[in-house]
Amino acid sequence: MKKNQQIKKRKKMLYELMCCKEYQPMRAKELAILLQIPAGKREELHKILDLLLEEGKISINKRGRYEAVRKMEKKREREKEQETQKSEIFRKGHCYTGTFISHPRGFGFVQVEEMEGARDIFVPEEGIGSAFHGDKVQVVVTKEEKDSKRCEGTIAKVLERGMGEIVGTYEKSSGFGFVVPDNQRFLRDIFIPQGKSMNAENRDKVLVKIQDFGSRNKSPEGKVVEILGKPGEKGLDVLCVAKSHDLPMEFPEKVVNQAERIKETLNEGDFYQRLDLRDTVMVTIDGEDAKDLDDAVSLTKKGNLYYLGVHIADVSNYVQYSSALDKEALKRGTSVYLVDRVIPMLPKKLSNGICSLNAGEDRLALSCLMTIDEKGKVISHKIAETVIRVNERMSYTDVKKILLKEDETVTERYGDLVPMFFQMGELSQILRKRRKKRGSIDFDFPESKILLDDMGKPVEIYAYEHNVATELIEDFMLTANETVAEEYALLGMPFLYRTHENPDGEKMEAALSLVHQAGIKVKKAKENISPKEIQKILKELKGMDCEPFLSRLILRSMKQAKYTVDCTGHFGLAAKYYCHFTSPIRRYPDLQIHRIIKENLRGKMSEAKIKHYDQMLEEVARQSSAMERRAEEVERETVKMKKAEFMKQHIGETFEGVISGVTEWGLYVELENTVEGLVHVNTMTDDYYTYDREQYLLKGDMTKKVYAMGQKVRIRVEGADVQTKSIDFSLEREE
């Protein structure tokens, strides 16, 4: 009773503090410092903050700072007013700053960040001037937005060039040459004067540095800085896409030399003050072709308690802060997994060598040792520097065969480990069920798997589905990531979190309107939809014809996850605390937080260190998020390119597919192998089809025939363009 009164008193005190006029929104760590609560005794503060949040008396803003709801309401009114001003239409004669996005057909758009609620400004061909795709520009509005007519403008000034180097095809002429850009948004050829071609031959693929962007009447001028290869060479197409996104293909000499100096074996001195787990039975579970094994798992069960160990390669032991290796890793941000190669964040000497948790080898690790009850709750945990020795290198395929009892030979081969695998399968289901209960969203889209021949040509494409083994590792890694994030958020130390904001209100409203039309009841709070509600919608969509389309539409309404220094939660996982701890070989944020964890474990997190991390983590978060976006874009582009190349071999053939998108210019149809192509409305000659914007369908004016989302159709492959990464289909005529 006395404790309840004490909590009530402290809640009142904290709420009144936040209601003061002088109070500025603070993080939990700042509140603890203000209230003079030492670092190790802040758990009660977090409990009281959680209680106030549950009661709706306080709220957390986007920066992870706490404020009273009374104050929040006034702030929201002000923000709404500012948003209304922001969302006003662009005014004629006014000048705005934004990024120019050109279109292959000659026109373009300017994306204006300061006018978030407004549409982009359309720029006709004659208004582009000397601007190129990606440039930061000033645009003057010439026509205001009226009814369905978009706002138009003319580019007045180029403030900053977006693209300094271009990949293209060299075309040789007498004494000079031109480079035709691969990027179709770069609308003009680049003139190469005599002596600046590096002796490139006709049709060579080259990288050209632009030295003069020219003007309306003068071509841009540049010099060839690298000859990438000749048409048809193995892997050249993927290399060109990677180079066009400025992906580093080689490590600088200084970085390679530093990696080479790292010893490949451990001695007893390396194990000093580490927890020795070499006698603990553990395995790695990865794809058959994986070489950078950065996580191992162990599990025992006593009574109703599971003792799960997630053991992560201690990469920070070899990559020292601010070294050449570290700077290059930060510059790259992440490993990039392309269709025919991996562009690693760290040299192979490290990623496939001493940092890889190879079976039978002593390795240094950072382990998250968790005790989990029968409901999937982590009731206690310990993070420790360890030395481990993996017993077996397992593949997802073999673990799946064991768990589903598909292959007796495989089960016999790993007989000693089989009981542990079944306990892992048991725990995985408990963790997954717990996560789903709180509202974690699972978009079940199959990934594309592309098989290439010896010359890099695509020979097979199929949908790669998740299975019980991939889910098992996913569940264990998510649990470790949440556990680590929660500990460091409660400690109030500088840290890097993986956060996911609430969905965009307007986009989600439009998606939910279509969900409602599909016959699914949607219950939504006034302001925001919850992860639980989205999960329920996806469950009800399961098996419906419109499921792929509406699931993708809901996904597109959600924001992208990113790295931040504030712990604002992860909407998609319905998690209050989340970080990336489990892949330091291939992700820089994981490597960075390993350093912070080790400083803390060793008692070296001084005020000076805290200040140091406070100053530098924001930039690490920004760079890591940007490099992740770049990697995703290159991966997506190379997959689309290989799909177009594959379908080029099947022109004239017919396939069954599902309508995955409907637009005014036609139907997008997805085949069973995940390849998507366009049936252009001009090829639908049996009727005149009108696009219904409200219901996303095309309807024949005379026949009343309807083509809608999720509908099965038979198509004929009409064409495929590797350059534009596009595939054209036509509908098979019905007999």
Rounded to whole angstroms, how far apart are CA atoms 487 and 25? Answer: 22
* Mean pLDDT, residues 357-377 taken together: 97
Q: Over 90: is that where the pLDDT of 387 sits? A: yes
* Residue 648 CA: distances (Å) to CA of 179, 651, 677: 26, 6, 12
What band does 515 get if pLDDT is binned at 50, 70 and 90? confident
pLDDT number for residue 9: 78
pLDDT number for residue 643: 97
pLDDT number for residue 147: 56
Q: Over 50: is that where the pLDDT of 86 sits? A: no
Residue 194 burial (C-beta neighbours within 10 Å; 0-12, 13-18, 19+):
exposed
Q: 214 vs 222, which has greater pLDDT?
A: 222
To the nearest whole percent, how much of the chain has pLDDT over 90?
63
pLDDT number for residue 114: 66
pLDDT number for residue 85: 42
Q: 714 vs 185, which has greater pLDDT?
A: 714
DSSP 658: E
How do residues 610-649 score in pLDDT, each as one tens digit?
999 999 999 999 999 999 999 999 999 999 999 999 999 9
Q: Which two tokens stand for residue 93?
A: 């004669």
Q: Which of 426, 570, 610, 589 is nearest to 486 (CA)?
A: 570
Q: Over 90: is that where the pLDDT of 516 sits? A: no
pLDDT number for residue 34: 78
Q: Which stretch of DSSP H or E encloses residue 123?
A: strand 121-123
| Range of lowest pLDDT (140-149, 324-333, 438-447, 571-580) | 140-149
pLDDT number for residue 81: 47
Helical spans, DSSP H, in 566-715: 588-601, 607-648
Our CA angle for 345, 351, 354, nearest 5°, is 145
pLDDT number for residue 367: 98
pLDDT number for residue 75: 55
* Residue 464 CA: distances (Å) to CA of 291, 445, 471, 535: 20, 9, 13, 23
* Residue 587 CA: distances (Å) to CA of 381, 383, 539, 614, 628: 24, 20, 32, 20, 9
What band does 734 get if pLDDT is binned at 50, 70 and 90? low
Q: Which two tokens stand for residue 519?
A: 């016959």
Q: Which stretch of DSSP H or E encloses residue 110?
A: strand 108-111
Rounded to whole angstroms, how far apart are CA atoms 483 and 173? Answer: 63
Rounded to whole angstroms, how far apart are CA atoms 570 and 497? Answer: 9
How many residues belong to the chain? Answer: 735
How do residues 40-66 score in pLDDT, each as one tens digit?
677 788 888 888 887 778 887 766 788
Our CA angle for 466, 470, 471, nearest 5°, is 85
pLDDT number for residue 458: 96
Q: Over 90: is that where the pLDDT of 556 sits? A: no
How do residues 122-131 score in pLDDT, each as one tens digit?
999 999 988 9
To the nearest whole percent, how much of the chain has pLDDT over 70?
94
Q: What is the pTM of this model?
A: 0.84
Cα-to-chain-centroid distance, residue 61:
23
Q: 144 vs 713, which has greater pLDDT?
A: 713
Q: Which of 202, 130, 144 is nearest to 170 (CA)?
A: 202
Residue 131 burial (C-beta neighbours within 10 Å; 0-12, 13-18, 19+):
buried
Mean pLDDT over each residue of the chain, to the nearest integer? 89
Q: Which two tokens stand for residue 137?
A: 């520009």
Rounded to whole angstroms, how far apart are CA atoms 159 and 213? Answer: 13
pLDDT number for residue 368: 98
Beta-carbon contacts of 264 under 8 Å, excluding residues fewer than 6 positions away, are 353, 354
Q: Over 80: is that where the pLDDT of 151 sits? A: yes
Beta-carbon contacts of 495 under 8 Å, excluding residues fewer than 6 positions away, are 485, 488, 489, 565, 567, 579, 593, 596, 617
